[in-house]
Structure 1
Amino acid sequence: MPGFNDIIGHDTIKEHLKKAIESDHVSHAYILTGETGMGRKSLANAFAMTLLCEKGKSEPCMECHACKQVMSSNHPDLIFVGHEKPGSIGVDDIREQINDTIMIRPYSSYYKIYIVDEAEKMTVQAQNALLKTIEEPPAYAIIMLLTTNQEAFLPTILSRCVQLKLKPLKDSVVKSYLMGSLGIKESRADIYAAFARGNLGRAIHLASSEEFQLLYSELLHMLKHLKEMDIMELLFYIKKMKDENLDIYDCLDFMQLWYRDVLMYKVTQDINLLIFREEFNTMKEMSAASAYDGIERILKAIDKARIRLEANVNMELAMELMLLVMKEN
């Protein structure tokens, strides 16, 4: 379990939390918002471990009894709120795990900390039950709500919490971590970083994902030979990817990055700006054979396919319309 110094990026949030500890102005309630894999849990755990650390500084010592308890998920004053129903956190979950226990003083620390992951799943009744606790908490209590979507919260919850939103990391930061810590070669690190869009956890997952390697090889073959295939062959590829349970939105992201590279090389003629540098020869050929407005139409067609899928248009139809634009341009 990392301390603040071990967490990549999110410097503004780390500084805010550390200053709150140093100045003894820790809030009773926080909302940490960010995509899955961006580091919400790591930040919450680092904050909790620092507050519970026996040394009382703005960075956990990682050596005292309290730190070791947190690292082994065994500290009595750090409570992770769970829920039985996968789709929702009900009022009983909040009452039993927070409201009914929060007035019991901490066992071994000054603070008693509750971490609610997937907090956007709280029902309205659960949020209202939590609101009463947030409005009049005991001095030692801290509640941390971790969410991918803070818009799911009632305005009364939002107004009583310190809201901290995680921002995507720069691709260069993600790439450096992949190369330095995981030993991934630069050309692949570029692809994972671009595809993850600033989400380090997602980039790490992609680097070891067999599903992504399959998606990569299948789509690469299709895009390189797209002009030679008829529409039935292309639709076969799409059906094959569906049968292999590849995420169709990931496929669209991949295509968008590919044609972004085609356009980038056509404009700049600079191989160093490409994400798919290993495919330089193909990029050179495609950029020479494509007009600017043709590439723009393809990129718009990919966006339109995404919109159609989100509107529940038949997947095969949405993809066929997009592939026809690709073939024509």
Structure 2
Amino acid sequence: MHPEPSETNQGPPPSSLPLSELIYIVQAGRIPNALLFYGPRGSGKQQAALFFAQACNCRADNDRPCNICASCKKISAGMHPDMIFLGPAENKKMITISQIRDMGGIIASRTNEAAFRMVCILHADLMNPQAQNALLKMLEEPPGRTFFILAAEQTTPLLPTILSRCRRIDFQALADHEIKKLLCTQYGLDPGTAHILTGTAGSDIDQALRLSGLDKEGTNWKMLRPWLIKEICLFLTAPQHQSAFKSLDLSRLLSARPEYVHDAMAVIRTVFRDFCILKYMPDKIVNLDFLSTFKDISVMHSYSRMLTWMTLFHETEKRLESNSGTRLTLDRFFLSLSLFK
């Protein structure tokens, strides 16, 4: 039996996530109108939301999703018509009131087939004040058999009235070995690929899944990574008079696909990190398939120069995070590298 609501592409998330509390909610038979999933980026909040939606709608009489019934499969595949995900529009920094109103129009009608409809607002802390006030009205009088999940990295931007209407569940960043185990055991990736993905994404499980190709909307990482590493290596070994031209060309290619820049920077970070630790811990580098090439390059450059590369990289990351122009920032980064070769 499914629980009753209270009056007020992917498999299951890792066991370290706060699933026990979500399972308890299902067992108790009272689904809150709104839950706040609070934690750092990549801590598995979206996977947990899917898990909870599956558990609430699973057609098997279990507290956990069976992953076999039609409902579980549709939710896992992102094809269920009653599972609504909302976040900032493409190339936008905020969730606007128009997006909230559009979502309100959708949930004003009956569910298509779910026992419980889910509205998951990703990056809920990026809602502008007008959007939050519009959402507040829905939280106060939610449609029947509908619950909201607000996934946020910060609570300060959220109105106290919204926070007071949410049951908060805290998430912690996952350790590297947990993500690696997840990729191998639950997603069937080989250990070598899982090692590279984990080293690239760090504790960000969302990015690891996106890079893996399991997320159909994600970056084509299998093509981006080797191409980008080869380009970086060619750039670092090019004669001085050619470096400036190569740097600007690489900047042009990357900035032409702004949706790939975040993942591209993650790959570049692993390259410079590998150079810094290669001398002391060659078995710990991320890009083991480029070990021979990296060894050749490390012979050509001093260790202090490699540390300078890493410093320039971190400065560039900060500039990109502060919303500096992508093309100009990448031009500056690669041109600076060409001066320290």
Flag whether TM exceeds 0.5 (same fold).
yes
What residue in structure 2 maps to residue 14 of structure 1?
A: 19
Q: Match for 2:306 among 272, 295, 300?
A: 295
Between the aligned partners of 1:227 and 1:35, the Cα distance in structure 2 is 38
Preserved contact between residue 30 and residue 164 of structure 1 (Cα < 8 Å) = yes
The question of whether the paired residues in 1 share the 8 Å contact of 2:120 and 2:151 is answered with yes
2:316 to 305, 309, 313: 305
Q: CA deviation at 1:295?
A: 2.9
Q: Percent identity?
A: 20
Kept in 2: contact 1:190–1:275 (CA 8 A): yes
Q: Which has the larger radius of gyration?
A: 1
Correspondence for 1:318:
332
Higher helix share: 1
Q: Is the 8 A contact 2:183 2:189 kept in 1?
A: yes
With over 3 angstroms needed to count, the CA separation of the structure-2 counterparts of 1:9 and 1:107, relative to structure 1, is closer
2:118 is matched with which residue?
114
Q: Is the 8 A contact 1:187 1:275 kept in 2?
A: no
Number of the residue aligned with 1:96: 105
1:49 aligned residue (34, 46, 54) = 54
Displacement after TM superposition at 1:230 (Å): 1.6
Mapped partners of 1:222, 1:241: distance in 2:
11
Partner of 1:190: 195
Partner of 2:223: 213
- Partner-residue secondary structure (3-state), 1:153: coil
Asked if the contact 2:97–2:130 (Cα under 8 Å) also holds between the matched residues in 1, the reply is: no
Calculate the TM-score normalised by the size of structure 2.
Answer: 0.70
Cα distance in 1 between the residues matched to 2:267 and 2:36: 32
Aligned to 2:273: 260
SS of corresponding position for 2:118: strand
Farther-moved stretch of structure 1 (133-142 vs 216-225):
133-142
Which of 58, 65, 68 pairs up with 1:60? 65
Please give the alpha-carbon distance, in whole angstroms, between the structure 1 residues aligned to 2:33 and 2:68.
26
1:288–1:44 CA distance, 2 compared to 1 (3 A): same
Comparing 226-235 and 132-141, the one that deviates more: 132-141
Which TM-score applies when normalising by structure 1? 0.72
Counterparts in 2 of 1:73 and 1:189: CA distance versus 1, 3 Å: closer
Q: Flag the 1:92–1:115 CA change in 2: closer, same or farther, 3 A.
A: closer
Say which of 244, 252, 257 aligns to 1:242: 252
- Who is 2:216 aligned against? none
Does the residue aligned with 1:144 lie in a helix, a strand or coil?
Answer: strand
Q: CA deviation at 1:129?
A: 3.2
The equivalent of 1:158 in structure 2 is 163
Give, as a single letter, the amino acid of the residue that structure 1 aligns with 2:119. Answer: I
**C-alpha distance 223-166 of structure 1, shift in aligned 2 (>3 A):** farther
How far residue 207 of structure 1 moved from its aligned partner, in angstroms, is 4.0
Q: Is the 8 A contact 1:33 1:165 kept in 2?
A: yes
- Which deviations, in whole Å up to 9, do the C-alpha atoms of 1:104-145 show, x marking residues without a partner? 8x9999x74431344636453342233244346689653223
The residue aligned with 2:287 is: 276
Q: Secondary structure at the match of 1:115?
A: strand
SS where residue 32 of structure 2 aligns? Answer: coil
| Matched residue type, 1:46 | F
Query: Measured at CA, do residues 107 and 180 of structure 1 come closer, stay the same or move farther in structure 2, by a change above 3 Å?
Result: closer
1:32 and 2:37 correspond = yes
Map 1:122-133 → 2, pairs under 5 A: 122-133=127-138
Q: 2:233 aligns with which of 216, 220, 223?
A: 223
1:323 is displaced (CA, Å) by: 0.8
Q: Distance in 2 between matches of 1:200 and 1:248?
A: 18
* Unaligned residue ranges in structure 2 (runs of 5+): 1-8, 214-218
Q: State how far apart, in whole Å, the 2-side matches of 1:168 and 1:279 are.
A: 29
Give the match for residue 73 of structure 1.
80
Kindly tell me: are residues 165 and 323 of structure 1, through their superposed partners in 2, closer, same or farther at Cα, counting changes over 3 Å? farther
Segments of structure 1 that go 5 or more residues without pairing to the other structure are none
Q: Per-residue deviation at 1:189?
A: 3.4
Equivalent pairs counted in the alignment come to 314
SS at match of 2:17: helix
CA distance in 2, matches of 1:249, 1:132: 35
